[in-house]
Amino acid sequence: MSASDSKLNFIFSEKGPLAEGIPGYRTRQQQLEMALAIETAIQENKQLVAEAGTGTGKTFAYLVPALLSGGKVIVSTGTKTLQDQLFHRDLPAVRDALKVPVTVEMLKGRANYVCHFHLERSANEGRFVSREDANYVHVIRNFVENSKTGDKAELIEVPENATIWPSVTSTRDNCMGQECNFYKDCFVMDARKRALAADVVVVNHHLFFADVMLRDEGVSELLPSANTVIFDEAHQLPEVAGLFFGEDVSTSQLLELARDAEAEYITTAKDCPALQEAANALEKSVRDFRLVFAYEGSRMPVQKALALKGFDSAYIEMQAKLQALTNVLETQAPRDPALENCWQRGAGLMVQLQRWLAAENANLVRWVEVFTQSVQLHATPLSVAEGFGKQLNASPRAWIFTSATLAVKSDFSHYIGQMGLSNANTGYWESPFDYGKQALFYVPENMPEPNSPGYSAAVATVALPVIQASGGRAFVLCTSLRAMREIHALLKDAFEQNGIEYPLMMQGESSRSELLERFRKRGNAVLVGSQSFWEGVDVRGEALSCVIIDKLPFAPPDDPVLAARIDKMNEEGKNAFMEYQLPYAVITLKQGAGRLIRDEADSGVLMICDPRLISKPYGRRIWQSLPPFKRSRFLADVQAFFENIKH
C-alpha cells in the first residue's frame, strides 16, 4: 500500500477521528509522515529508528498504526511517568477515537505488586524498622483484601519510598513460584495472565530486558511474543540493556538472603539455631565489606576497588559466611519450599561472587558502585549490539525505536552501532515549533575553560543577570552533583546580596514530583538540578522560560565502562571521541535543551555556558544538532528578548 492510499491520511486530518474525538488535537505533517513510516515498518516486519522533535506528537504517531495493525503490540517506555500516561491517558483516548476493540494492559516489575507470602510473613514476625512500618502493614493488608491488582501505586496512603515495601513484595530471587501457598492469588501471576491475553501491553525498558534475559535462560516468558515492539524514550536503551546483558551481584541480595533465612528459622526451623547464627554472621560480613568503601555515590574500576585496604580479606570473609549459611540451608531445605528457595539462592550467589572475582569473560568490564547501604559489583558488556542482535533476529516482527534524541545532526550511525541495528531504516522529523521566533540560544562571552577551578563561580555570575531578566522561571541544569551544590550555594548568596526573592530550589530537597509541583505553582522559581531534571520533565507555559546548562554533558572520563569502551575503540583504530563521546554528549544535551519549549505557546532562552561550543572545532556539530534557535552571545539580546515577551 502506498502512503497516499493509507487510511492514516484521513485519521490524522482536520476532519478525522483524532480531531473529532480528542480535545485540543491539531494536525501536524511531521506526525502523519512518522505514522506512515511506522505503518510500513509494522506491515513489513522491519526495524525503524525514528527521531521526532518535541511537539511532533510521536505517541499518537506510533499508537494509531499499532492499534490498527491487528497484531499483538508491546510498548516499552523509559519511565513510570510515561508508562502511566500511556496506559491511563493516551491509549484510551486513541482507542476510543478510532473505535477499535483492542484490550490494553500495563505490566510492571514484580517489586510493584504486593506479595501475599511476604506480607503475611512480615505481619507474623512483627519486626519492623519503625513504628510507621508496623502501621503500614495493616494498611497494606486491608488494601490487599480489596484490590484486584495489588499494584502499590494504587495505595496512596503508603509512600513509594516507605521502608516497608521490600518486606511485602517479592524479588526474582525470593519468589517461590508454584511452590508458594498463595500462588493462585498471586498478583504478579495475575498481571502476567492479563498481559498474555491483551492486544497491547505497556511495560518499561527494565522489565522488557529482564524478560529477555529470563527467556534466554529458559526460565519463563513474562511477556508474550509480539508482532510489534515499540520503544519510546529509546535513547535510554543502550544503558538499560547493558545492565541486563552483564553479570551483576549486589550485597543487598546477600542481606536479603540472610533476612529470609532468619525469618525461616523463626517460622519453620526453630530447632536449628545454627541457621540463625549463620544468617547473622553473613549479615555482619556484608556490612563489614561495605565499610571498606569510604563513601556512597562512587563508581570505580575493579583495579581501584581491589587495591582498597581490606578489600581482599572482607570479600573472602563474605564468601566464607555465605558458604557457611548455604551449607546449613542445605540440611534444612527438605523441610519447606521457602528453605529450599533460600538454599538455591545461596548456591547461586556463591557462583556469582566467584565469577565476578575470577573475571573469566573478557568482554565484560568489571566495576564497583557504592551506595549508602550496599555495594553493587558490576560486570558490564563493552557492547550490547551482539546480545540485542540475537533478539532482533529471533522471529519476524517489527521493531520501532523512537525518541526526541537519537541522532547527531540527523545522523543515526552512533545509535545504530550501539544497538546492533544494522538493518534498520531511519526517519528524522524536526519539531513543528517555530524556534526562530519562540526561543533564543545564548552562549555568554569570556567564560573560562570548564575544567578551571573557578568555573562554577563563573557560571553563577553569568547566570544571575539572565535569571533576573527572565523573572526567575528557570532551570539550572548541571552535569554533576558537585557542580549543582556549588552553583546552588553561589546563587543563594547572590540572591541574598542583591535582594532577589525568587524561590530557589535544589534537586534532592524533596522528591522530583514534589519539586516540580512547587516550581509550577510558584511561577517565578529557580530550580538547580542534575541528572534527574535533564529528561522526562514537562513544564509548559511561563513557569519555565529559561534553561541554563553549566557545561557540555560529556560522560566523566573516569567512568569505568566508558574508559574501557574508549580503550577498545582506540585499539580498533576508531576515533572514540568523535564516534562515541561526542554523540553521547549531543544526545544528552538535546534532552536538557528539550525542557525549554514544550508547546506552540512557549517561549524562552536556552543558555549554555560552555565556551567549547565556540572555541572547539566540534562545537559547530553540537549546536547544529540542536533545534534552529536564533543565536546570540550578548546579554543585551537576552534582556531584549524577555522585554519583548512582556509586551
Residue 622 pLDDT exceeds 90: yes
- 371 and 256 in one domain? yes
Per-residue pLDDT of 3-28, as tens digits, reads: 657 899 999 999 999 999 999 899 99
- What is the pTM for the complete model shown? 0.88
Q: Reduced to 3 DSSP states, what percent helix, strand and coil does the chain have, rounded to the nearest 5?
A: 55, 15, 35
The pLDDT-based confidence of 442 (bands split at 50, 70, 90) is very high
Q: How far apart are CA 527 and CA 427, in angstroms?
A: 35
Q: Which residue has the higher pLDDT, 569 or 459?
A: 459
Mean pLDDT of 616-642: 94
Per-residue pLDDT of 557-573, as tens digits, reads: 778 888 888 888 888 99
Q: Which residue has the cell 549459611?
A: 325
Residue 220 pLDDT exceeds 80: no
Between 202-216, 350-364, 367-381, 435-449, the lowest mean confidence (pLDDT) is in 202-216
Mean pLDDT of 105-122: 92
Q: Which residues contact 90 (CB under 8 A, 6 or more apart)?
A: 59, 60, 63
Residue 216 pLDDT exceeds 60: no
- Compute φ and ψ for 304, nearest 5 degrees: -65, -40
CATH assignment of the domain containing 9: 3.40.50.300
- 509 and 474 in one domain? yes
The pLDDT-based confidence of 645 (bands split at 50, 70, 90) is confident
125-159 b/e (C-beta count within 10 Å ≥ 16 → b)? eeebeeeebeebbeebbebbeebebbbbeebeebe
The pLDDT-based confidence of 237 (bands split at 50, 70, 90) is very high
Q: Residue 456: name the closest of 419, 504, 409, 488 by CA.
A: 488
Indicate the average pLDDT of the chain: 91
Mean pLDDT of 444-448: 96
Looking at the 3D structure of the chain, how many domains does it have? 4
- 608 and 588 in one domain? yes
Among the candidates 429, 455, 487, a domain finishes at 429
Mean pLDDT of 600-620: 95
Q: Which residue has the higher pLDDT, 217 or 263?
A: 263
Q: How far apart are CA 436 and CA 455, in angstroms?
A: 30
Q: Which domain holds residue 556?
A: 435-646
Mean pLDDT of 572-600: 92
Residue 222 pLDDT exceeds 70: no
Residue 224 pLDDT exceeds 70: no
Mean pLDDT of 446-460: 95
Per-residue pLDDT of 242-297, as tens digits, reads: 888 888 999 999 999 999 999 999 888 999 999 999 999 999 999 999 999 987 77
Between 202-216, 317-331, 554-568, the lowest mean confidence (pLDDT) is in 202-216
Residue 647 pLDDT exceeds 70: no
Among the candidates 168, 190, 212, a domain finishes at 190
- 523 and 575 in one domain? yes
- 595 and 544 in one domain? yes
Neighbours of 490 (CB within 10 A): 19
> Of all residues in the chain, what percent carry a pLDDT higher than 70?
97
Question: What was the pLDDT predicted at 151?
Answer: 93
Per-residue pLDDT of 23-42, as tens digits, reads: 989 999 999 999 999 999 99
Question: What was the pLDDT predicted at 185?
Answer: 93
β-strand 546-549 against 474-477: which pairing, if any? parallel
CATH assignment of the domain containing 334: 1.10.275
- 209 and 320 in one domain? no
- 73 and 222 in one domain? yes
Q: How far apart are CA 598 and CA 606, in angstroms?
A: 13
- 231 and 184 in one domain? no
* Range list of H helices, 69-130: 80-85, 91-98, 116-125
CA angle 547, 551, 554 (to 5 degrees): 120
- 375 and 279 in one domain? yes
Q: How far apart are CA 36 and CA 630, in angstroms?
A: 31
Question: What was the pLDDT predicted at 215?
Answer: 62
- 458 and 494 in one domain? yes
- Write the DSSP symbol of residue 6: -
Q: How far apart are CA 647 and CA 631, in angstroms?
A: 21
- 405 and 277 in one domain? no
Neighbours of 270 (CB within 10 A): 11
The pLDDT-based confidence of 176 (bands split at 50, 70, 90) is confident
Question: What was the pLDDT predicted at 311?
Answer: 96
Cell numbers linked to 118:
511476604
